[in-house]
Amino acid sequence: MAIASALPFPFALDTSRVGLVVIDMQRDFLEPGGFGESLGNDVRPLQAIVPTVATLIAGFRQAGRPVIHTRECHAPDLSDCPQPKLARGAPGMRIGDPGPMGRILIRGEPGAEIVPELAPLPGEIVLDKPGKGAFHATPLQAELRRLGLTQLVLAGVTTEVCVQTTMREANDRGYECLLAQDATESYFPEFKAATLAMIRAQGAIVGWTAGTDAILEALA
Ligand code: TIU
């Protein structure tokens, strides 16, 4: 079923080969005291998309299509965190430092968990990733092959960092990528707008964008 409203041109959704990838909807990015705020950001705009992301996830579950969740986080001993990444952020609020939601961006800490409204169901794939892209140093590619997916709908945060990086990684690996434009957000509205524009430019150079309602209508 085609999504006629997709940009830059209709997206031919293959309901038997599409899966949803929800990027980093973690407390560390959405709640005060986490990694996102430690980088100097106002986290409130990101909280606003939670209901839309929940609707998108529910639609994929309803259709019996895979939902894959990612979490950006690091091993407790920081062995998977490059030194330059470690050195960024406000001193005392860097990766691995103690915060109100546990050690910042560390696997297993409360802040690294996905927000409760979007909690993965038992059996859904949850990938912990040390980078911005979800393919780097994770089994994502193997999981997509195992599931027989050729198309990915992407959602989550932040649009121009982990979502766009993952979308570019997937596009280079041959996946057709559709970004759910109202189920993603940035700390910088102008960066989100630019990301949507650059994805669609040059005849879908990175992929397509569409609204959650249109995606779910095509999936149903
Ligand atoms: N800082 C920022 O915009 N994003 C990140 O660091 N990670 C994700 O986007 N998940």
List, for residues 132-182, the tens digit of each pLDDT value.
999 999 999 999 999 999 999 999 999 999 999 999 999 999 999 999 999
Nearest Cα residue to atom 7 of ligand 1: 162
Cα(202)–Cα(207) distance, rounded to whole angstroms?
Answer: 10
pTM for the model stands at 0.98
If you measure from the C-alpha of residue 74 to the centroid of ligand 1, how many angstroms do you get, rounded to a whole number? 14
Q: Which of 41-55, 77-91, 162-176 has the weakest average pLDDT?
A: 77-91
Cα(6)–Cα(180) distance, rounded to whole angstroms?
Answer: 10
Cα(54)–Cα(183) distance, rounded to whole angstroms?
Answer: 9
Cα(211)–Cα(190) distance, rounded to whole angstroms?
Answer: 18
Residue of 25, 127, 162 with the most ligand 1 atoms within 8 Å of its CB, for mutation: 162
CA geometry: angle 140, 146, 150, nearest 5 deg: 75
